[in-house]
Copies of this chain bind each other. A is one copy, B any other.
Amino acid sequence: MSTLPDIKKDFSGWYQEIVYQAELADQAPVRGTMVIRPYGNALWENIKSRLDQRIKETGHENAIFPLFIPESFLKREAAHIEGFAPELAVVTHAGGKKLEEPLVVRPTSETIIHAMFAKWIRSWRDLPLKINQWANVVRWEMRPRAFLRTTEFFWQEGHTAHATYQEAEEEAYKMLREYVDLCENWLAIPVVAGEKTASERFPGAEKTLTFEGIMPDGKALQMGTSHVLNQSFAKVADMKFQDKDGAIAYPYLTSWGTTTRLVGAVVMVHGDEKGLILPPKIAPFQVVIIPILIKNKDNAMTLAAAQKMAEDFKQAGIRCKVDADDTKTPGAKFFHWEMKGVPLRIEIGPRDLEANQAIVADRLGLAKEPVTLDGLTTHVSSRLEIIQQAMFKRAVESRASLWRKGEKLSEFGPKLAEENCFYQTGWCGDPACEQQLKQYKSFTRCLLEEKTFKECFVCDRPNLRDVLVAKSY
């Protein structure tokens, strides 16, 4: 048995170790890249599957665009290339020859998708055009961390075109709400959602919306973003349409995406000293069944009961695993599946069978109790629901404990530098005041809807809207 670094003293070390020990991911031979192992991939597939369903239900269609983008495409939008240039991976040779024009491995697909939109959009009848793609993207990463920052990562990127700015803005907010729903109701992670300040926007965006998770170590994790793009994207792609009055106009564009980083968020927000704790709605296995096998005895009845249970669960749509390995002790199995974060554990041995019951214990430590076999499937379904709710509540409480209010940076800045946490404060809207945060290695994360402060956290000009500031991943 391996042990994990102390989660309270060394959160970062704990994170790295649990990702490897729980077999979510492994280091790959190329610097900055990772291998997502089957257990981590099953978790990601469950997240993807829910999000993909909602993307389709909200009227988007999936398509696939090329991995390679001509370098000249990226250079068309000035702010865009400036933002991405330092992170690009470039193919210079192919098919045994030097290429005439280097190809960039997509860091994001705006430019190539817009080139296709320009081909497909002719009239207002072609709008809105609502496309999504699931893809791998590459941004060269100097400080890689599994799931949180990797050179190659996996995401969905939605790209839409609309006849009016208002419609584009509505789309960007609608998808932000979908992301919040995914995080809160499936990942059991409460998020802060809202607008980014101008200096934190996506390169080339008119407006960037963000949803930020509050990690237990007091740092923010940007979990995804939704943008209304600058009109210049449509202009450089020469994307035009004839409106209802016959006039030629440029469409308004959005893009929005979330990534494999969500897996990292689930690990950080819910884990404890024993390992992962996975929300039932996305856990690869919601239940592990451990038959208590007695040495040198006939365990056929016990094994049959465990298998029958698994069949019943499968029928009811519950994802479960029977661990019947006879080379390991029950204790070793408990340890193993606790580390892997399976929400519910069921033990069944000969004595339980005689009593027509099984022992049901949850990973959160809420209850460990005998349950009669007859009502077991119903019991398990409702327990999974209870665990899902309890995990969200626990995360909300953790967030509250890290959330402070501070009037002036001169007071809370030193605290922010010393102890990681979140400060809600007032801001005049001037980037010069915002820049002051850098001395405390902090940034604005998100503009809030509230206005509880009178003045800016730096100067004495009036507060426009409260803002949340913190360190970040």
Contact of A61 among B38, B90, B154 (CB under 8 A): B38
In the complex this chain forms, how many copies of it are found?
2
Least CB distance from A29 to B in Å reads 6
**A46 to B94 Cα, complex, angstroms:** 32
Contacts of A203 in B (CB 8 A): none
A67-75, A371-379, A408-416, A465-473 - interface stretch: A67-75
A80-88, A183-191, A380-388 - interface stretch: A80-88
User: Is A243 interfacial (CB 8 A cutoff)?
Assistant: no
**B94/A91 in contact, CB under 8 A:** no
**A63/B38 in contact, CB under 8 A:** yes
**A69/B38 in contact, CB under 8 A:** no
Contact of A64 among B36, B89, B119, B120 (CB under 8 A): B36
Contacts of A86 in B (CB 8 A): 95-96
Which of A65, A67, A95, A154: most chain B CB closer than 10 A? A95
Given contacts A65-B28, A66-B152, contact A88 B94 (CB under 8 A): yes
User: Is A404 interfacial (CB 8 A cutoff)?
Assistant: no
Contacts of A305 in B (CB 8 A): none
Contacts of A85 in B (CB 8 A): 96
Q: Which residue of B lies closest to A99 (CB)?
A: B89
**A103 to B62 Cα, complex, angstroms:** 29
User: Is A138 interfacial (CB 8 A cutoff)?
Assistant: yes
Q: Which residue of B lies closest to A132 (CB)?
A: B38
Given contacts A26-B119, A85-B96, contact A63 B90 (CB under 8 A): no
**A125 to B164 Cα, complex, angstroms:** 61
What 0/1 pattern do residues 99 to 112 of A give for CB contact below 8 A with B? 00011010000001
**A66/B34 in contact, CB under 8 A:** yes
Contacts of A88 in B (CB 8 A): 94-96
Contacts of A41 in B (CB 8 A): 61-64
**A68 to B26 Cα, complex, angstroms:** 15
Q: Which residue of B lies closest to A45 (CB)?
A: B62
User: Is A364 interfacial (CB 8 A cutoff)?
Assistant: no
**A36 to B64 Cα, complex, angstroms:** 5
User: Is A142 interfacial (CB 8 A cutoff)?
Assistant: yes
Given contacts A38-B61, A140-B94, A140-B95, contact A103 B66 (CB under 8 A): no
Contacts of A102 in B (CB 8 A): 93
User: Is A116 interfacial (CB 8 A cutoff)?
Assistant: yes
What 0/1 pattern do residues 151 to 167 of A give for CB contact below 8 A with B? 11010000000000000
User: Is A136 interfacial (CB 8 A cutoff)?
Assistant: yes
Contacts of A42 in B (CB 8 A): 61-62
**A39 to B325 Cα, complex, angstroms:** 46
User: Is A131 interfacial (CB 8 A cutoff)?
Assistant: yes
Contacts of A96 in B (CB 8 A): 85-86, 88, 140
User: Is A30 interfacial (CB 8 A cutoff)?
Assistant: yes
The 16 sampled A-B contact pairs (Cβ below 8 Å) are A28-B116, A30-B66, A30-B69, A35-B63, A35-B64, A35-B65, A41-B63, A42-B62, A67-B152, A68-B151, A88-B96, A89-B91, A90-B93, A90-B94, A91-B105, A95-B142
